[in-house]
Amino acid sequence: MRYYNVEFEPVGRRGKCRDDESVLDCAHRLGVGIVSLCGGRGKFHCCKIRIIKGFVSKPTKSEIEAFSPKELKDGYRLACQTHLRSDCKIQILLESLTTPQRLQLEGIEADVELNPPVKSYNVKLSSPSMSDLRGDDKRIVDELNHQFNLSCQKFDINALKNVSPQLRSRRWEARVFVRDDEIISIGSQRRPGLGLAVDLGTTKIAGYLLDLDSGRTLSSDGVMNPQISYGEDIVSRITYAMESPAKKKKLQEVVVNALNRLTDDLCRKVNVKKEEILEAVIVGNTAMHHLLLDLPVSQLAAFPFVPAVQDSLDVKARDVGLDIAPGAYIHLLPNIAGFVGADHVAMLLATENIWKDEDLVIALDIGTNTEVSLIDNGDITSVSCASGPAFEGAHIKDGMRATNGAIERLQLIGDKVEYQTIGKVPPVGLCGSGILDAIAQLYLAGVISKDGKMKDHRRVRFHNNQKEFVLVDKKENGSLAIAITQKDVREIQLAKGAIRSGIDILLQEKNRSKQEVKKVIIAGAFGSYINITSAVSIGMLPSLPLNRFQQVGNAAGTGAKLALLSVKERLKAETIARRVSYIELAAFPNFEKVFLKATYLG
């Protein structure tokens, strides 16, 4: 028996692996969450890994079934079938990670040279005397400019409100936080400089608290966007806002409250004060961006759907109501068009190193609204698809958020349904990736036809006036049955049809075929959790070799982090936004035909 060193990516976990234990067993022993529906029998091909460095056992029969010879040559393997033969570096495919494991990945550091807009300087001042009666403001500005050769001129009014007592209680020593030529805050010399990055989605809000000095993510969290109560998707929310200025203001209020609570939570987790947050970057689609700032939205709903604000924007946090450092700014990345917003810019920014040198790339950010870009040698063309919230569990009978008890992975073997839940507790519903697996499995098993019609099957019953496929019945699961209904199938058809028609129209517009696509970058919480194979099976994504797909997690959030940590990244974002041309799907000549076709499965 021998021990080898093993390193798991993208989790970053290292440990020892015995030559007689499978990579799957080793991973589980080391606390790395890999999906395993069949319990290590190589049956469901769900524990996909890629050997990046080192030697492993020869492919088993299961692995030869699971992968093409090219893929095997590229290092693709199943974790349950593979044994180490040397020290190894192993990449776990994102689709094979459990949901909790993927959630942890959200904390991965944005890799960027630190150059945050807010810089800090420690100063020691002389105290006032009859021979030196300078005001407190002037005393700081003079010393700062002199000692650090700056040319600060402005002093935020809210920062000024704290200056005099602070200087006196800290014996004329202070840390001064400067943004461009403006002093935005002062504090103790030990005070950290924190930043907040937010991906403000139509359905979910993801927040990250960062240390601007180290670039480290200190804490992260997600909450629902409370605007949902006033409309599930962008169009219904704009419609609500257009009913009256008070209603529009209400939408701003609830989301700002949610951001403030999220900020509180992020700070509490690591025991820091929200007043120490010196800059925030918030990215969202154009409607979320406008509603956050209480900007007019009616022009977003009328042809030709232009944003009120397209350029990047620096706004005092207090002007929005975000309760962080007095004097702090919120930076908002530029929007591309009425329905392709700063979140897509952030996603393109975060994935630039993936697409910049490729011939033809598709980049999608799947959410309640899905933005798709076709990147043709750096020329970017974008569309917006109203995919709706079905993949986030809404409108699906047994749909739920990706939390404990959600079926995250599912496989149909004959009449039997094998599944794995988040937290390995008894199932209570299906999260997005589970729903997608279910539809794909039912389609592949012939239970659902190409046009989405549910056929008869031993597990199909008639319930509440419609057919439904029982995934987990009451006997198996106490009193709680979990099923996929005919209506659920229709919802998924609409959602996937919206996404696929966006992809198809972009390819059609640019006269390229799907085979020419070198990379498909899939961002967004849902997009990162799905089983690519399932998504391809139902035709949501084009059928391409597995290694052309890349799931990048919440890339919009990562883009927000990058913009938080570096002004260079902000400039890069502006450049990217300027390079994008937008196509309005509704204005595309045969859009309805393409969309209808795209709703078909397979």
Residues that bind a copy of itself (CB under 8 A): 128-130, 133-138, 141, 154-155, 157-158, 160-165, 168, 293-296, 298-299, 304-311, 313-316, 318-320, 335, 337-338, 582, 584, 587
Report the candidate in 406, 396, 395 with the shortest Cα–Cα distance to residue 428.
406
> In this structure, which amino acid lies at residue 243?
E
**Secondary structure class of 570 (helix, strand, coil):** helix
Q: Is the dihedral of CA 384, 388, 389, 392 positive or negative?
A: negative
Give Dmax (Cα) for the chain: 95
User: Least distance to a copy of itself from the beta carbon of 319, Å?
Assistant: 5
Nearer to a copy of itself, 160 or 235 (CB): 160
Residue closer to a copy of itself (CB basis): 104 or 310: 310
Q: Residue 279 or 488: which CB sits closer to a copy of itself? A: 279
Rounded distance, CA 473 to CA 456, Å? 17
Q: Concatenated DSSP letters for 20-35?
A: TS-HHHHHHHTT--B-
Taking the least distance from each CB to a copy of itself, the nearer of 158 and 239 is 158
Neighbours of 457 (CB within 10 A): 17
**What is the closest distance, in whole angstroms, from the C-beta atom of residue 572 to a copy of itself in the complex?**
18
User: How many CB atoms are closer than 10 A to CB 223?
Assistant: 14
| Rg of the chain taking only CA atoms, in angstroms | 26
| Nearest Cα to Cα of residue 218 among 201, 200, 197, 204 | 197
Shortest Å, Cβ 128 to a copy of itself: 5
Provide the 8-state DSSP code for 57: P
Given a contact cutoff of 8 angstroms between Cβ atoms, the answer to whether 411 and 418 are in contact is yes
Tell me 326's DSSP state.
T
Nearer to a copy of itself, 304 or 426 (CB): 304
Could you tell me if 109 and 83 are in contact, meaning their C-beta atoms sit under 8 angstroms apart?
no
Cα–Cα distance measured from residue 280 to residue 356, given in angstroms and rounded to the nearest whole number: 27
C-beta closer to a copy of itself: residue 500 or 570: 570
Report in angstroms how near the CB of residue 533 gets to a copy of itself at its nearest: 37
Minimum distance of a copy of itself from residue 162's CB (angstroms): 8
Of the pair 105, 313, the CB lying nearest a copy of itself is at 313
Crossing angle for the helix pair 234-243 and 245-270, to the nearest 10 degrees:
120
Least distance (Å) between residue 581 CB and a copy of itself: 9
CB of 582 to a copy of itself, least distance (A): 6
> Which C-beta is closer to a copy of itself: that of 94 or that of 337?
337
Give the shortest CB-504-to-a copy of itself separation in angstroms: 20
The Cα–Cα gap between 465 and 488 comes to: 13
Min dist. Cβ of residue 287 to a copy of itself (A):
13
Residue 578's Cβ-count burial label (10 Å; 0-12, 13-18, 19+) is exposed
Structure tokens at 445: 């098993």
For a copy of itself, give the closer residue by CB, 345 or 431. Answer: 345
Q: Shortest distance, CB of residue 166 to a copy of itself, whole angstroms?
A: 9
Q: Which two tokens stand for residue 283?
A: 């990215």
**Between residues 125 and 362, which has the closer beta carbon with respect to a copy of itself?**
125
> Which one, 304 or 423, has the nearer CB to a copy of itself?
304
In whole angstroms, what is the distance from residue 257 CA to residue 322 CA?
Answer: 8
Q: How far is the CB of 202 from a copy of itself (least distance, A)?
A: 20
Question: Who contacts 592 (Cβ-Cβ below 8 Å, separation ≥6)?
Answer: none
Smaller CB separation from a copy of itself, 89 or 154? 154
Residue 302 CB, shortest distance to a copy of itself, in Å, is: 9
Supply the minimum distance, in Å, between the C-beta of residue 298 and a copy of itself: 7
Long-range interactions of 19-22: CB distance < 8 A, separation 24+: 19/83, 19/84, 19/85, 20/83, 21/83, 22/79, 22/80, 22/81, 22/82, 22/83
Residues with Cβ < 8 Å from 296, sequence gap 6 or more? 290, 308
Which of 21/180 has CB closer to a copy of itself?
A: 180
Between strands 460-463 and 466-472, the pairing is antiparallel
According to DSSP H, which parts of 271-355 are helical? 286-292, 317-320, 342-350, 352-355
